[in-house]
Amino acid sequence: MMSKFVGLLGMLVACLPVCGQSLYKTSAPEKQKVVEELTYYYEVSSYTPAVPVDVTKTANPSTPEGAAMQLLEAMHSQDFDRWLRLWTPESQELMKSQYKKNGTSPEVFKNGWSKAFTGRTVALTKKIETGPYVILVATLSPAGGAATTPPAQPGEMQFVLKQVNGAWMATQELAADPVLNSWKEPNSVSRRVVRSK
């Protein structure tokens, strides 16, 4: 008798999620919401004057600036393998997985870097600090006397860096972080729906 009861109860429980109907009558549902507000603090400073970067020389990664200069040198020399080694181990694994999934080859990066650095000078212009992370902005400006039609505009690169065992390395940890994506718009508010029901 007990085994039949347990079997019947199991069938009833299994049916509830499938049927999706309550055994009891309720009023019409009233949609409500709970809002969680998260605040991300950060500090922005400008290098005065901007720090020129010699992209032909290797820097010391004991500072965020040195780490960014290393990345810029590797990009300028189109050394993809060395550039990848300048990221944290976790970021390297993530990036390798993404590149394999998307079919992205090192040549794509090398071609982009070649275009970015040709006829341009590089300088570090801004520093954004948030928690254990430092975001550095490098501005690539047309070299003096270089005339193009239309006139070439300065470009920017952002590097997110964190300290690992005494050295600074690039990281993907802020890839979806509001500070990285919105630091130029202080006090901005971004919203997303976590669950619609």
pLDDT single digits (tens) 108-141: 999 999 999 999 999 999 999 999 999 999 999 9
Answer yes or no: is 153 within a domain: yes
Please give the mean pLDDT across all residues of the chain.
Answer: 88
Answer yes or no: is 21 within a domain: no
Residue 2's Cβ-count burial label (10 Å; 0-12, 13-18, 19+) is exposed
Q: Given this model, what pLDDT does residue 12 score?
A: 46
Q: Given this model, what pLDDT does residue 40 score?
A: 93
pLDDT digits (tens, 9 = 90+) for 22-60: 789 999 989 999 888 889 999 999 999 999 999 999 899
Range of lowest pLDDT (2-11, 24-33, 93-102, 154-163): 2-11
Answer yes or no: is 31 within a domain: no
pLDDT digits (tens, 9 = 90+) for 142-164: 987 555 556 567 899 999 999 99
Answer yes or no: is 156 within a domain: yes
Into how many domains does the chain fold? 1
Answer yes or no: is 17 within a domain: no
Answer yes or no: is 36 within a domain: no
Answer yes or no: is 108 within a domain: yes
Q: What angle do CA 121, 105, 124 make, to 5 degrees?
A: 20
Answer yes or no: is 88 within a domain: yes
Tell me: cis bond preceding 142? Omega within 30 of 0 counts.
no
> What CATH number did the domain enclosing 148 receive?
3.10.450.50
Domain of residue 131 covers 43-182
* The pair of three-digit structure tokens given for residue 141, joined into one six-digit string: 């400006």
Alpha-carbon distances, residue 178 vs 31, 43, 90, 156, 181 (angstroms)? 28, 14, 21, 18, 5
